[in-house]
A and B are shown apart, each in its own frame.
Chain A
Amino acid sequence: MDKVSHVLRNGWNWIKLKFLALWHFLFRRKSDEPEFYDPEAMASKKASGTLPPQQQVVHKVIMVGTGGVGKSALTLQFMYDEFVEEYEPTKADSYRKKVVLDGEECSIDILDTAGQEDYSAIRDNYYRSGEGFICVFSILDMESFEATNEFREQILRVKNSDSSVPIVLVGNKGDMRDQRVVSAELCRQRAEQWGCHYVETSAKRRENVDKVFYDLMREMKRRKGGSQAQTGIDASASSGRKKRSGIKKHCTIL
């Protein structure tokens, strides 16, 4: 049964991939201009002198949580639509990728940490470089939930007890709710106590994965004070052309 679903999923992914390729082949080839290089916008940026032509906002996110809760799975699912069934412990992988957030181009930098760190001096150092944190536990594992408090304390300690540092609490493995150990009520309470969002995800089924990163990045952006132009969520559903005009609009405001 598992095999059948695996084959089906692979097939579906293949079709998706081919379809995407076809789409790009048919519609994107004409535009020689690279999609995200907008000379006009760049020029206006340069003129206003706020940003050098190529520099852009980078949002630095750190994934924390005990081993095996799905930090890597969430990261890879978010960035590459991929889920790996077998568990490979992470050491400290880091990724950067281009994101268009509310019609505005930026980069996300994700540091995917190991569950148990032994050298804490280095860890403090890279926690310090983080601007937003995703604190993950598994709803099937009470211990991983308990540990989230400790991770938050470490973050706050490094951030000089600045409790406004953007954190999202994530309960992963939501596809297995029938076996849940950590009640939804408990999760909600903790998020309230922390003053942050709680999101329940399934890295496996790609449920709420985008929401986690979207919520966090918006908050980070707000903190950086770069959010006068709010094009809203509907930007994500609009066409490429519209997106580009969105970027333009924002840059002229800048």
Chain B
Amino acid sequence: MYTLSAGIWEKFFKKKDYYVVIVGLDNAGKTTFLEQTKSHFVKDYGVLNPSKITATVGLNTGNVELNNTCLHFWDLGGQESLRELWATYYDDANAMIFVVDATRSDLFPIVASQFKEVMANEIVQNIPVLVAVNKSEMEGAAAAAEVRMLLEDDNHRSDLAVLPVSALEGTNIERCVHWIVRSLASQPLYL
């Protein structure tokens, strides 16, 4: 009885913790995305000057609380030599954000093959994945629908969203975070 009520207590009133891993090629804007997220959702957060952001080698973290949910972000480095490390974070991940630089269509073949590789992981196949099509405020940026078609994938079994964002200007960042929170709690639809 005690364990049951303790369990119920935990289920309802304790904050739920989720881990969100942010991946994507280098220079896609992952760190900027995380900084922007923190500045939107963390009170009195001193925004880091975008020009101070350098290529990530280790791991940047950030915590965001909303609706009784705590999201723990892990921002990883995207350079080629660092990509092998992504998989070591999947075990504990509850959701993934995959950032794409929409202005670099020359890199799209690499983006597509990276995405395929990421999606080959069984854990990733079963967690919500958000594709953030970044730098969409720039002239000549690829449309999100175009990136969507690039990343067709039949293995993914959980929710997926592809949203255009600008990490620099903060466009659509809130929508992304809300989607993550919603999709973490969502069930398949019965019709």
Contact = CB atoms under 8 A, between A and B. Distances in A.
Interface of A: 17-18, 21-22, 25, 34-36, 54-56, 58, 78-80, 82, 88, 91-102, 105, 108, 111, 113, 119, 122, 125-126, 129, 210, 213-214, 217, 235-236, 243
B144 A91 contact: yes
A95 B161 contact: yes
A14 B158 CA distance: 24
Contact of A80 (B12, B143, B182): B182
Contacts of B158: 98
Interface residues of B, number: 34
B157 A54 contact: yes
Given A21-B12, A22-B8, A96 B159 contact: yes
B40 interface: no
A129 B146 CA distance: 11
A33 to B, nearest CB: 13
B11 interface: yes
Nearest to B154: A55
A19 B149 CA distance: 38
B160 A95 contact: yes
A25 B190 CA distance: 19
A244 B82 CA distance: 42
Contacts of B144: 91-94
Given A54-B155, A93-B163, A94-B162, A100 B182 contact: no
A25 B189 contact: no
Contacts, number: 103
A97 B191 contact: no
Contacts of A18: 12
B159 A97 contact: yes
B116 interface: no
Nearest to A18: B12
Contacts of B190: 99-100, 235-236, 243
Contact of A126 (B125, B149, B161): B149
B148 interface: yes
Given A25-B8, A93-B163, A99-B189, 20 more contacts: A22-B8, A25-B7, A36-B157, A56-B154, A80-B182, A88-B175, A91-B172, A92-B164, A94-B144, A95-B160, A95-B162, A96-B159, A97-B159, A97-B160, A105-B188, A122-B146, A126-B146, A126-B149, A129-B149, A235-B190
Contacts of B8: 22, 25
A94 B161 contact: yes
Interface in B146-191: 146, 148-149, 154-164, 172, 175, 182-183, 185-186, 188-191
B48 interface: no
